[in-house]
Amino acid sequence: MQATDTHQAIDAVWRIESPRLIAGLARILRDVGLAEDLAQDALVAALEKWPETGIPDKPGAWLMATAKHRAIDLLRHRTLTERKHEEIGRDLEERQEDAALDIEAAADDEIGDDLLRLIFTACHPVLSKEARVALTLRLLGGLETSEIARAFLVPESTVAQRIVRAKRTLTDAQVPFEIPRGAELEARIQSVLEVIYLIFNEGYAATAGDDWMRPALCEDALRLGRILAELAPDEAEVHGLVALMEIQASRANARVGPSGEPILLLDQDRSRWDQLLIRRGLTALARAEGAGGARGPYALQAAIAACHARARTGEETDWARIATLYGELARAAPSPVVELNRAVAVGMASGPAAGLELIDRLAGEPSLKAYHLLPSVRGDLLKRLGRHEEARVEFERAAEMTQNVRERELLLARAAASARESLASSH
């Protein structure tokens, strides 16, 4: 195997094994930052040795054993001023011979618990939303700082600072490396789900930049969601989020044209929707709904996405059902954005005038003042009512607000089309 092939293989191994490696070390060290540093040291050792010796039969076990040996060396040469460190040193010594076994037992409950602990730690509410996203992609997604920076269109130094501060915050706050229990579990699960969905949404509809979508982020979020669903099989909202992401991701190929231009939902070629992802999504939705109790926000959004997935054409979409589900979602998780989406559904089910009436009630909502989709939706409803000049103004206003280049081009094209229709109707 050539060196370049070996490095590619090492990269693939790292993406798969690094979360387990960091999680296992963090359980022993009780320090996520130190665990990641030691895992990185093991990766460097692999990059140095594997091109010469070949990739081991069990690369994850090799990485874990190497990281634990380095941990022992580190703690031996560090001044052990706290009893906790002495206990860690003894624990590592005792476990040294068994280091490889920890990672070999990939299906072992302890490994699963370690991963779950790592997810809860990286997404701890003590961290800012941006820090949680960056740390999750770093520790659980195996992404380099530069990759995270490119994905979110921010300077690499900004991402690096977020990660460093996040680790320091976790240490200073003495956040326990544990799975929360009882009433705290539900709140903490919501924090984890929020982070995963933020990552997915940024990939599905990029807020800024030249691309309409960033598929790699969608894939990372889906992988994290699937892992969480395996680790927390009794949590209905986990399955609800996975269902939502699977179904949304099924449209990826149809959402972008040959030149990268956006294609809106009703204009998409549904034969290009990924039926495997749709089936997976519907299965996950059934698991969420089968858990009993009231449906949560993610399960409700997944049920809405399922209505689109089941319609063979845009005309066959059950918009009345979607409007009802949005009403249920508005009660479960009230927000102006949910009301905006409900207005779209009502406009499709009961006519554009009914939708416009709901939209105009949102005009003074402070949180939507800079939200480009409000004028975009209003423009669409006005266009359907034949009020083309008003629609042009709204599309242009939306184009000024968005930071995504592709979306701006789409909105300006819609504005130009409305201007032509307005001119034609005036003659």
**Cα torsion angle, 326, 330, 334, 335, sign:** positive
Distance CA 83, CA 201 (A): 45
* 338 assigned to some structural domain: no
Query: Is 356 part of a structural domain of the chain?
Result: no
Q: pLDDT tens across 277-316, in order?
A: 999 999 999 999 998 878 999 999 999 999 999 999 999 9
| Domain membership flag for residue 424 | yes
Are residues 313 and 374 located together in one domain of the fold? no
Q: What is the band of 69 on the pLDDT scale with cuts at 50, 70, 90? A: confident
Residues 194-239 have pLDDT tens digits of 999 999 998 898 888 888 888 888 998 999 999 999 988 999 999 9
Burial class (CB in 10 A: 0-12, 13-18, 19+), 184: exposed
In tens, the pLDDT along 393-411 reads 999 999 999 999 999 999 9
Residue 375 is part of which domain span? 370-427
Asked whether residue 107 carries a pLDDT value surpassing 70, the answer given is: no
Cβ contact 329:295 at 8 Å: no
The answer to whether position 141 is within a domain reads no
The reply to whether 272 and 208 lie within a common domain is yes
Please tell me whether residues 213 and 308 are part of one structural domain: yes
Verify that 312 and 191 share a domain, yes or no: yes
The answer to whether position 171 is within a domain reads no
Residue 409 within a domain:
yes
The pLDDT tens digits for 78-103 are 645 455 555 656 665 555 445 444 43
Residue 364 lies in a domain: no
Domain-ending residue, one of 286, 317, 348: 317
| Residue 95 counted as domain residue | no
Give the total number of structural domains in the chain: 2
Q: Which of 10-14, 93-97, 120-124, 145-149 has the highest mean pLDDT?
A: 120-124
Q: What is the DSSP letter of 141?
A: S
Q: In whole angstroms, what is the distance from residue 175 CA to residue 391 CA?
A: 52
**Average per-residue pLDDT in the chain?**
88
